[in-house]
Amino acid sequence: MAGAAAEDVKVLGLPTSPFVIRVLIALRLKRVEYELVEVRIAEPKSEILVKSNPVYKKIPVLFHRGKPLCESAVIVQYIDEEWSDGGGSSSILPADPFDRALARFWVAYIDDKLPALIRALRVETEAAKATELAGQFRQVLGLLEEAFAECGKGKDFFGGDAVGYLDFALGSCLGWIVALEKAKSVKLLDAEKLPRLTGWAERFLAEESVKGLVPDADEYLNFYTVEAVRTA
């Protein structure tokens, strides 16, 4: 089913949302054509968003064959299963049950910690508090540095030889990380303290399935609002 027609697959969202970015990377990795439909997430929210995700009213929403699916984690796993027809597309979640569970654990950790820290640091105006938040941010990344050693097993990505589920989750936040470093004059992804993650980030952004999907720092600083990271 790889190469499904664009009109058969639509994604409601914004190109700057980390959660939307995950879905777009997954679709590109599976070689699925899609249409990105930008919607309003501030009040009043776009009518199509409210109707398609009446529970949370958040992006992203995936439409496949006219049916909506919500929540980025659910959508990415659906994409992995739906387009697994042996057509040469890469698997997103690890094949080994333990590795798959481990990836899900760390994705849940990322979703629990990073969006909240991004929001807090994004709006903080006091230098001392920004420095404190940056320290908390680095602690989270420090644990992910250790996780990379376990999950990556000495290879280039959390998913091993190719980008996978955990790579998507952290990589979709890289634009925000660089933007916050620039805007708040803090260091988050420190090459000296986090050499594995720093090298991983460079490789991730250079991947063909990722290129052009993670906005650069200036794009976030120019027009991205704090509400955009409240999506899941």
What CATH number was assigned to the domain covering residues 97-230? Answer: 1.20.1050.10
Q: What is the pLDDT of residue 228?
A: 44
pTM of the entire predicted model? 0.90
Q: How many CB atoms lie within 10 A of CB 185?
A: 11
User: Is the predicted pLDDT of residue 227 greater than 90, yes or no?
Assistant: no
Q: Are 24 and 213 in contact (CB under 8 A)?
A: yes
CA-to-CA distance for 22 and 167, rounded, in angstroms? 9
CATH 3.40.30.10 at 6-82, yes or no: yes
Break the chain into its structural domains and give their ranges.
6-82, 97-230
Q: pLDDT of 115-143, one tens digit each?
A: 999 999 999 999 999 999 999 999 999 99
Q: pLDDT of 40-98, one tens digit each?
A: 999 999 999 999 999 999 999 999 999 999 999 999 999 999 998 655 557 899 999 99
Q: What is the pLDDT of residue 226?
A: 44
Burial of 195 per CB tally in 10 Å (0-12, 13-18, 19+): exposed
Query: 162: closest CA among 97, 210, 214?
Result: 210
